[in-house]
Protein backbone atom coordinates (compact mmCIF):
# COMPACT_ATOMS: atom_id res chain seq x y z
CA UNK A 1 0.00 0.00 0.00
CA UNK A 2 1.31 3.45 -0.88
CA UNK A 3 2.22 5.77 1.97
CA UNK A 4 -0.36 8.33 0.81
CA UNK A 5 -3.06 5.63 0.95
CA UNK A 6 -2.00 4.65 4.48
CA UNK A 7 -2.22 8.27 5.57
CA UNK A 8 -5.63 8.82 3.96
CA UNK A 9 -7.00 5.59 5.41
CA UNK A 10 -5.57 5.58 8.93
CA UNK A 11 -5.12 9.33 9.50
CA UNK A 12 -1.90 9.16 11.54
CA UNK A 13 -0.16 12.18 13.07
CA UNK A 14 3.50 12.70 14.01
CA UNK A 15 4.53 15.12 16.76
CA UNK A 16 8.08 16.27 17.45
CA UNK A 17 8.71 18.07 20.72
CA UNK A 18 11.62 19.27 22.79
CA UNK A 19 12.90 22.15 24.89
CA UNK A 20 13.58 25.61 23.55
CA UNK A 21 16.82 26.11 21.58
CA UNK A 22 17.34 22.40 20.89
CA UNK A 23 16.84 23.04 17.16
CA UNK A 24 13.50 21.32 16.57
CA UNK A 25 12.26 24.01 14.16
CA UNK A 26 15.20 23.63 11.77
CA UNK A 27 15.18 19.86 12.12
CA UNK A 28 11.44 19.85 11.47
CA UNK A 29 11.92 21.75 8.23
CA UNK A 30 14.32 19.06 7.02
CA UNK A 31 11.85 16.32 8.01
CA UNK A 32 9.03 18.13 6.18
CA UNK A 33 11.18 18.40 3.04
CA UNK A 34 11.82 14.65 3.04
CA UNK A 35 8.15 13.84 3.61
CA UNK A 36 6.88 16.58 1.29
CA UNK A 37 4.47 17.86 3.92
CA UNK A 38 3.67 20.92 6.02
CA UNK A 39 4.51 21.89 9.60
CA UNK A 40 1.80 22.48 12.19
CA UNK A 41 3.43 24.63 14.85
CA UNK A 42 2.55 23.85 18.49
CA UNK A 43 3.88 27.00 20.12
CA UNK A 44 1.79 29.16 22.42
CA UNK A 45 3.88 32.26 21.56
CA UNK A 46 4.17 31.95 17.79
CA UNK A 47 0.40 32.31 17.47
CA UNK A 48 0.83 36.07 18.10
CA UNK A 49 1.29 38.43 15.17
CA UNK A 50 4.23 40.81 15.37
CA UNK A 51 6.11 38.68 17.90
CA UNK A 52 8.70 37.16 15.60
CA UNK A 53 12.23 37.45 16.99
CA UNK A 54 11.42 36.63 20.61
CA UNK A 55 9.44 33.53 19.60
CA UNK A 56 12.03 32.36 17.03
CA UNK A 57 9.30 32.30 14.40
CA UNK A 58 10.37 30.79 11.06
CA UNK A 59 11.55 33.38 8.55
CA UNK A 60 9.50 34.26 5.47
CA UNK A 61 12.00 32.33 3.34
CA UNK A 62 11.56 29.23 5.51
CA UNK A 63 7.78 29.58 5.36
CA UNK A 64 7.86 29.88 1.57
CA UNK A 65 10.00 26.75 1.40
CA UNK A 66 7.88 24.70 3.79
CA UNK A 67 4.38 25.91 4.73
CA UNK A 68 4.05 26.57 8.47
CA UNK A 69 0.51 26.59 9.88
CA UNK A 70 -0.89 27.72 13.23
CA UNK A 71 1.33 30.80 13.52
CA UNK A 72 0.26 34.48 13.36
CA UNK A 73 -3.31 33.62 14.32
CA UNK A 74 -4.14 36.43 16.78
CA UNK A 75 -2.92 39.84 17.91
CA UNK A 76 -0.92 40.10 21.16
CA UNK A 77 -3.93 41.45 23.08
CA UNK A 78 -6.23 38.59 22.05
CA UNK A 79 -6.69 35.46 24.15
CA UNK A 80 -5.65 32.06 22.82
CA UNK A 81 -5.60 28.71 24.63
CA UNK A 82 -5.18 24.98 24.10
CA UNK A 83 -8.78 24.59 23.01
CA UNK A 84 -8.34 27.25 20.34
CA UNK A 85 -5.17 25.55 19.16
CA UNK A 86 -6.88 22.17 18.97
CA UNK A 87 -9.76 23.54 16.88
CA UNK A 88 -7.39 25.17 14.40
CA UNK A 89 -5.10 22.13 14.26
CA UNK A 90 -7.91 19.63 13.61
CA UNK A 91 -8.94 21.54 10.47
CA UNK A 92 -5.39 21.53 9.09
CA UNK A 93 -4.92 17.86 9.95
CA UNK A 94 -8.12 16.90 8.10
CA UNK A 95 -6.98 18.88 5.06
CA UNK A 96 -3.57 17.18 5.00
CA UNK A 97 -5.11 13.74 5.42
CA UNK A 98 -7.38 14.36 2.43
CA UNK A 99 -4.26 15.18 0.40
CA UNK A 100 -2.49 12.04 1.59
CA UNK A 101 0.08 14.11 3.48
CA UNK A 102 1.37 13.30 6.94
CA UNK A 103 0.58 16.02 9.52
CA UNK A 104 3.83 17.02 11.25
CA UNK A 105 3.21 18.77 14.57
CA UNK A 106 6.32 20.48 15.92
CA UNK A 107 6.70 22.62 19.01
CA UNK A 108 7.55 23.03 22.65
CA UNK A 109 4.13 23.73 24.17
CA UNK A 110 3.38 20.41 25.82
CA UNK A 111 -0.23 21.16 26.68
CA UNK A 112 -1.05 21.99 23.06
CA UNK A 113 0.42 18.71 21.84
CA UNK A 114 -1.25 16.70 24.58
CA UNK A 115 -4.64 18.31 23.91
CA UNK A 116 -4.33 17.50 20.21
CA UNK A 117 -3.12 13.92 20.50
CA UNK A 118 -5.04 12.80 23.59
CA UNK A 119 -8.01 15.11 23.97
CA UNK A 120 -8.65 18.19 26.05
CA UNK A 121 -9.49 18.07 29.72
CA UNK A 122 -13.00 19.45 30.18
CA UNK A 123 -13.35 22.37 32.54
CA UNK A 124 -16.00 24.87 33.54
CA UNK A 125 -16.53 27.86 31.25
CA UNK A 126 -14.97 31.17 32.20
CA UNK A 127 -16.56 32.95 35.14
CA UNK A 128 -15.82 36.59 34.42
CA UNK A 129 -16.84 37.81 37.88
CA UNK A 130 -14.30 35.49 39.51
CA UNK A 131 -11.67 36.39 36.93
CA UNK A 132 -12.21 40.08 37.60
CA UNK A 133 -11.85 39.52 41.36
CA UNK A 134 -8.64 37.53 40.87
CA UNK A 135 -7.19 40.15 38.53
CA UNK A 136 -7.96 42.83 41.10
CA UNK A 137 -6.29 40.77 43.85
CA UNK A 138 -3.19 40.35 41.67
CA UNK A 139 -3.11 44.10 41.02
CA UNK A 140 -3.39 45.00 44.70
CA UNK A 141 -1.40 42.19 46.32
CA UNK A 142 0.99 41.18 43.52
CA UNK A 143 1.23 37.94 41.50
CA UNK A 144 3.07 36.09 44.30
CA UNK A 145 -0.05 36.44 46.47
CA UNK A 146 -2.22 34.45 44.06
CA UNK A 147 0.50 31.86 43.49
CA UNK A 148 0.67 31.25 47.26
CA UNK A 149 -3.11 30.79 47.33
CA UNK A 150 -2.83 28.25 44.50
CA UNK A 151 -0.14 26.39 46.44
CA UNK A 152 -2.63 26.02 49.29
CA UNK A 153 -5.58 24.69 47.25
CA UNK A 154 -3.79 22.91 44.38
CA UNK A 155 -0.11 22.29 45.24
CA UNK A 156 0.37 19.85 42.34
CA UNK A 157 -0.74 22.40 39.75
CA UNK A 158 1.30 25.13 41.45
CA UNK A 159 4.41 22.97 41.22
CA UNK A 160 3.98 22.77 37.43
CA UNK A 161 3.52 26.52 36.95
CA UNK A 162 5.84 29.49 37.13
CA UNK A 163 4.60 32.09 39.66
CA UNK A 164 4.57 34.70 36.86
CA UNK A 165 2.31 32.59 34.64
CA UNK A 166 -0.70 34.48 35.96
CA UNK A 167 -3.31 33.34 33.38
CA UNK A 168 -2.79 29.68 34.39
CA UNK A 169 -2.44 30.51 38.10
CA UNK A 170 -5.69 32.45 38.01
CA UNK A 171 -7.41 29.71 35.98
CA UNK A 172 -6.43 27.18 38.64
CA UNK A 173 -7.94 29.36 41.36
CA UNK A 174 -11.02 30.06 39.24
CA UNK A 175 -11.72 26.35 38.72
CA UNK A 176 -11.25 25.67 42.42
CA UNK A 177 -13.73 28.41 43.33
CA UNK A 178 -16.29 27.13 40.80
CA UNK A 179 -16.04 23.39 41.45
CA UNK A 180 -14.47 23.22 44.89
CA UNK A 181 -11.94 20.76 43.48
CA UNK A 182 -8.33 21.22 42.30
CA UNK A 183 -7.83 21.48 38.54
CA UNK A 184 -4.99 18.93 38.80
CA UNK A 185 -7.45 16.35 40.18
CA UNK A 186 -9.88 17.01 37.31
CA UNK A 187 -7.02 16.57 34.84
CA UNK A 188 -6.01 13.26 36.46
CA UNK A 189 -9.58 11.97 36.23
CA UNK A 190 -9.70 12.88 32.55
CA UNK A 191 -6.26 11.29 31.93
CA UNK A 192 -6.14 12.75 28.42
CA UNK A 193 -7.05 9.36 26.93
CA UNK A 194 -9.34 10.46 24.08
CA UNK A 195 -6.86 9.90 21.25
CA UNK A 196 -8.53 10.93 17.96
CA UNK A 197 -5.56 9.83 15.81
CA UNK A 198 -2.95 7.06 15.83
CA UNK A 199 0.21 8.99 16.55
CA UNK A 200 3.96 8.87 16.88
CA UNK A 201 5.35 11.21 19.52
CA UNK A 202 9.09 11.94 19.22
CA UNK A 203 11.01 13.85 21.86
CA UNK A 204 14.37 15.53 21.26
CA UNK A 205 16.88 15.77 24.08
CA UNK A 206 20.57 16.49 24.61
CA UNK A 207 23.05 16.95 27.43
CA UNK A 208 21.97 19.79 29.68
CA UNK A 209 25.23 21.70 29.39
CA UNK A 210 25.12 21.54 25.59
CA UNK A 211 21.53 22.80 25.63
CA UNK A 212 22.44 25.65 27.97
CA UNK A 213 25.24 26.69 25.61
CA UNK A 214 22.74 26.74 22.77
CA UNK A 215 20.42 28.89 24.87
CA UNK A 216 23.24 31.41 25.43
CA UNK A 217 23.86 31.54 21.68
CA UNK A 218 20.14 31.77 20.92
CA UNK A 219 19.62 34.74 23.24
CA UNK A 220 22.64 36.57 21.81
CA UNK A 221 21.32 35.96 18.29
CA UNK A 222 17.83 37.25 19.17
CA UNK A 223 19.30 40.43 20.62
CA UNK A 224 21.46 40.91 17.54
CA UNK A 225 18.40 40.43 15.31
CA UNK A 226 16.53 43.19 17.16
CA UNK A 227 14.63 41.70 20.11
CA UNK A 228 14.90 44.90 22.13
CA UNK A 229 13.60 46.95 19.21
CA UNK A 230 10.77 44.49 18.62
CA UNK A 231 9.75 44.73 22.28
CA UNK A 232 9.87 48.53 22.11
CA UNK A 233 7.74 48.52 18.98
CA UNK A 234 5.08 46.34 20.63
CA UNK A 235 4.95 48.66 23.65
CA UNK A 236 4.63 51.70 21.37
CA UNK A 237 1.71 50.00 19.60
CA UNK A 238 -0.11 49.97 22.93
CA UNK A 239 0.46 46.39 24.07
CA UNK A 240 1.08 46.72 27.84
CA UNK A 241 3.52 44.64 29.85
CA UNK A 242 0.63 43.06 31.76
CA UNK A 243 -0.60 41.12 28.70
CA UNK A 244 0.02 37.39 28.79
CA UNK A 245 1.74 37.59 25.41
CA UNK A 246 4.14 40.27 26.70
CA UNK A 247 5.15 38.02 29.59
CA UNK A 248 6.79 35.58 27.22
CA UNK A 249 10.54 35.07 27.26
CA UNK A 250 12.41 38.08 25.93
CA UNK A 251 9.49 40.48 25.98
CA UNK A 252 9.07 40.27 29.76
CA UNK A 253 12.74 40.89 30.48
CA UNK A 254 13.29 43.68 27.96
CA UNK A 255 10.01 45.46 28.67
CA UNK A 256 11.29 45.71 32.25
CA UNK A 257 14.52 47.23 30.97
CA UNK A 258 12.65 49.65 28.70
CA UNK A 259 10.45 50.69 31.64
CA UNK A 260 13.59 51.55 33.61
CA UNK A 261 13.27 48.77 36.19
CA UNK A 262 16.82 47.49 35.69
CA UNK A 263 19.83 47.74 33.40
CA UNK A 264 20.28 46.26 29.93
CA UNK A 265 22.91 43.87 31.29
CA UNK A 266 20.49 42.67 33.96
CA UNK A 267 17.79 42.10 31.32
CA UNK A 268 20.18 39.88 29.33
CA UNK A 269 21.15 37.97 32.46
CA UNK A 270 17.51 37.44 33.42
CA UNK A 271 16.57 36.29 29.93
CA UNK A 272 19.33 33.69 29.80
CA UNK A 273 18.52 32.46 33.30
CA UNK A 274 14.76 32.34 32.71
CA UNK A 275 15.22 30.54 29.39
CA UNK A 276 17.31 27.85 31.10
CA UNK A 277 14.60 27.44 33.75
CA UNK A 278 11.92 27.27 31.05
CA UNK A 279 13.80 24.56 29.14
CA UNK A 280 14.08 22.56 32.35
CA UNK A 281 10.32 22.84 32.96
CA UNK A 282 9.63 21.76 29.38
CA UNK A 283 11.76 18.63 29.81
CA UNK A 284 10.01 17.83 33.09
CA UNK A 285 6.66 18.02 31.27
CA UNK A 286 7.70 15.87 28.32
CA UNK A 287 9.35 13.25 30.52
CA UNK A 288 5.92 12.54 31.99
CA UNK A 289 4.62 11.54 28.54
CA UNK A 290 4.82 7.75 28.72
CA UNK A 291 4.50 7.14 24.96
CA UNK A 292 7.20 9.54 23.82
CA UNK A 293 10.13 8.06 21.87
CA UNK A 294 13.33 9.90 22.70
CA UNK A 295 16.10 10.79 20.27
CA UNK A 296 19.26 12.12 21.87
CA UNK A 297 21.10 14.78 19.88
CA UNK A 298 24.71 15.83 20.24
CA UNK A 299 26.74 18.77 18.99
CA UNK A 300 27.54 16.99 15.70
CA UNK A 301 23.86 16.42 14.85
CA UNK A 302 23.23 19.05 12.19
CA UNK A 303 19.55 19.37 11.17
CA UNK A 304 19.65 17.03 8.16
CA UNK A 305 21.40 14.29 10.13
CA UNK A 306 18.91 14.56 12.99
CA UNK A 307 16.06 14.62 10.45
CA UNK A 308 17.26 11.34 8.95
CA UNK A 309 17.01 9.68 12.38
CA UNK A 310 13.47 10.99 12.81
CA UNK A 311 12.36 9.89 9.35
CA UNK A 312 13.57 6.36 10.14
CA UNK A 313 11.25 6.36 13.17
CA UNK A 314 8.38 7.71 11.07
CA UNK A 315 8.84 5.07 8.34
CA UNK A 316 8.81 2.32 10.96
CA UNK A 317 5.65 3.83 12.46
CA UNK A 318 3.86 3.97 9.10
CA UNK A 319 4.94 0.44 8.19
CA UNK A 320 2.89 -0.91 11.12
CA UNK A 321 -0.29 -0.07 9.16
CA UNK A 322 0.65 -1.95 5.98
CA UNK A 323 -0.74 -5.36 6.94
CA UNK A 324 -3.72 -4.16 8.93
CA UNK A 325 -7.23 -4.38 7.47
CA UNK A 326 -8.49 -1.01 6.30
CA UNK A 327 -10.83 0.87 8.65
CA UNK A 328 -14.49 0.54 7.67
CA UNK A 329 -14.71 4.19 6.64
CA UNK A 330 -11.69 3.87 4.35
CA UNK A 331 -13.03 0.63 2.82
CA UNK A 332 -16.39 2.26 2.02
CA UNK A 333 -14.63 5.24 0.45
CA UNK A 334 -12.46 2.94 -1.66
CA UNK A 335 -15.48 0.97 -2.92
CA UNK A 336 -17.37 4.15 -3.84
CA UNK A 337 -14.32 5.45 -5.69
CA UNK A 338 -14.01 2.18 -7.63
CA UNK A 339 -17.72 2.08 -8.54
CA UNK A 340 -17.73 5.71 -9.70
CA UNK A 341 -14.69 5.02 -11.87
Judge whether 182 is annotated as a binding position. Answer: no
The Cβ of residue 73 has, within 10 Å, a number of other Cβ atoms equal to: 16
* Cα–Cα distance, 18 to 279 (Å, whole number): 9
Query: In Å, what is the CA distance from 265 to each residue of 223, 257, 270?
Result: 12, 9, 9
Read off the DSSP letter of residue 124. P
Query: In Å, what is the CA distance from 36 to each residue of 13, 27, 28, 67, 103?
Result: 14, 14, 12, 10, 10
Is residue 107 within 8 A of residue 23, CB to CB? The reply is no
Judge whether 22 is annotated as a binding position. Answer: yes
- In sequence order, the 6+-apart residues with CB closer than 8 A to the CB of 93 are 11, 13, 40, 103, 197
* Cα–Cα distance, 277 to 279 (Å, whole number): 5
Nearest Cα to Cα of residue 214 among 299, 143, 94: 299
Judge whether 29 is annotated as a binding position. Answer: no
Judge whether 24 is annotated as a binding position. Answer: yes
Judge whether 54 is annotated as a binding position. Answer: no
* Cα–Cα distance, 275 to 300 (Å, whole number): 23
- For residue 68, what are the β-bridge partners? 39
Judge whether 107 is annotated as a binding position. Answer: no
Judge whether 20 is annotated as a binding position. Answer: yes
Is residue 103 within 8 A of residue 93, CB to CB? The reply is yes
* Cα–Cα distance, 27 to 22 (Å, whole number): 9
Judge whether 144 is annotated as a binding position. Answer: no
Residues that constitute the known binding site: 18-25
Residues that constitute the known binding site for substrate: 20-25
Residues that constitute the known binding site for ATP: 18-25
Amino acid sequence: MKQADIISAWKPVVAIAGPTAIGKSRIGIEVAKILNTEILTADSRQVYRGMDIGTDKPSLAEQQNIPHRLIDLVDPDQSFNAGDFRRHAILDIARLHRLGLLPLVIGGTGLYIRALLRGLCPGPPANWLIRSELAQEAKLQGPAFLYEKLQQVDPELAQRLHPNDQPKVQRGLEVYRILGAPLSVIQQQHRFDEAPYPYLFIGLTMKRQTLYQRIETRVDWEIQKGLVEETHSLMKQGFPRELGSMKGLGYRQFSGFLAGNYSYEEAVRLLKRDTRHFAKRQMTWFQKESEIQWITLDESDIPDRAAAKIVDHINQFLSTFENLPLPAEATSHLKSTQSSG
